[in-house]
Structure 1
Amino acid sequence: MTALPLECYYAIFNNLLHNYKSLFSCALVSRHWCRIIIPILWSEPGNHYKDKRLIRILLLALNAEEQTLLIPFNISLPSHQKTLFEYTSYITSITSDLIIGVRNLFPKYESNLSLETTVKFSLIAMLVRTSINLKHLIIDEIICNPLIFENLYEKTTLTSVDLYLKYNISGDLEYKAIDGLVKILYKNSTLNSLNLRSATLGTKGVITLLEALCNDTVLKSLEEK
């Protein structure tokens, strides 16, 4: 078989971006195809974040600091050997389906919001740290945690952020999340879409956000609910 230029393979396989079964079948044809397809296959997990098998693979990528956060809950982390590919480096979007996958993996902890939040936090921190081309992020008030924020602040590939501020969080935590978002707006030169969902920003939050937006020349879409 005559080998095609890499650009041709990418063009062909990218047409199957959301046809996971076909992509997976193609990845089994040869090592050459597999190396091309795996980054495409993992680029947009979508609703596959709900799959507990995917969550197990993500847990393998936690570093020592991210694993330490889970010690108080006495949960058994996967202990498989190192994965063949750095799967998380290919992921371009983090969606709210991630928390559903966490719940599916730890069903007996369903009522333990502390564990649920901590696992979600550790996974998001890891994904922000390891993803090379992260473009879309759905996140809540945990943005104000330094472990996530420091990596997110340097993520210059980010083009879209959905920030959810819950009704039951304290005003102080909400302001910290807004401050974190403002710093991203000042630093990031690629963010062109911001979807902000909050019970109420309050006067301070609105003023802080407007000041940042006045100096932003990249943002093209802003939605607040």
Structure 2
Amino acid sequence: MNFLPIECLRQIFKNFQTNFSSLHSCLLINRIWFSIVVEILWNEPTIPLNDIRIMKILLLLLDNNEKFQLVAFNNVIPSGPKPLLDYTNYITTINNKLDEGIVEWLKINELEISNEIMKLIKRLLTNNLLKKCKLKVLQVAIDELPGGWEEVLEVTSLNNLDLSKYDIGPNGLIKITKTLKNLKILSLEENNIEVEGVRELIKALQLKSLNISMNEISDKGGSGKVLNGAQWSCEWSRWSSEWSQWILLFSSPFA
């Protein structure tokens, strides 16, 4: 298959993207195959960030300044050379498995699992990933990110974002519509959102799924009556025939 165009090879290998053993066997064939396969392996949405082998690579890829911040905690930084390839460039998903990976790494190195070391490692790894990755999925506690909510708005490649239980502020939804134009899946569960913001969000983005369950949705400025405990988990496939009803709901005064 060496004479096939790279795009053809990429499409062929994508058919095996969940067959990890087959993909790993292709890594050593030649440089072209390696470059294609390693990208598929590392941008797979289900990449196990809780695997200690992945954790070792992520820690080795920290720069010297970042590693220095971990010197006080013995054995946190793994021994070994820095990988020749920066695998973090291919990662497209950051989720809570990162927390699990940090815990497993601390356990295997017989280190105390404290909030201090957990938060420091997560901050350094997340910051490194946000700088290098072209993220599509972000499912972590926003308040634990180095730059918080404002940093999320800079990740314009996102198409799946979980903002559950995080107060994005009175203009949060408007900011999303202006910056995160690639979003397809958005969770705003247990948030403080306004009717005007929801209406603009629906009109501006071509979302496939929007979760606004467990919300008290107020009118603009927070005045007037509130839909207490409104629980809506909305799939866009169910909205097509009810679109006008939803627009009417979000446009109507609260009873």
Shared topology, TM-score over 0.5? yes
> 5+ unaligned residues in a row in structure 1: which ranges?
166-173
Instruction: For 1:141, give the aligned amino acid.
Output: I
C-alpha distance in 2, partners of 1:180/1:52? 40
Counterpart mapping for 1:36-185 below 5 A: 36-44=36-44, 46=46, 48-63=48-63, 66-67=66-67, 70=70, 73-74=73-74, 76-107=76-107, 108-109=110-111, 111-132=113-134, 134-142=135-143, 145-146=146-147, 149=149, 151-165=151-165, 174-175=166-167, 178=169, 182=173, 183-185=175-177
Residues 149 and 180 in structure 1, CA contact (< 8 A), matched pair in contact too: no
The number of residues matched between the two structures is 207
Residues 92 and 135 in structure 1, CA contact (< 8 A), matched pair in contact too: yes
SS of corresponding position for 1:215: helix
Residues 44 and 92 in structure 1, CA contact (< 8 A), matched pair in contact too: yes
Two-structure CA RMSD over aligned residues (Å)? 2.8
State the 1:59 CA deviation.
Answer: 1.4
Are 2:198 and 1:213 equivalent residues in the alignment?
A: yes
SS of corresponding position for 2:48: helix
Are 2:178 and 1:190 equivalent residues in the alignment?
A: no
C-alpha distance in 2, partners of 1:11/1:46? 19
Q: Which has the larger radius of gyration?
A: 2
Normalised by the length of structure 2, the TM-score is 0.69
State the 1:52 CA deviation.
Answer: 0.7
C-alpha distance in 2, partners of 1:181/1:55? 33
Structure 2 match to 1:168: none
- Identify if the C-alpha distance between structure 1 residues 127 and 2 changes in structure 2 by more than 3 Å, giving closer, same or farther: closer
Normalised by the length of structure 1, the TM-score is 0.77
Q: What is the percentage of aligned positions where both structures have the same residue?
A: 32
> 5+ unaligned residues in a row in structure 2: which ranges?
214-255
C-alpha distance in 2, partners of 1:179/1:66? 35
- Considering fraction of residues, name the structure with more helix: 1
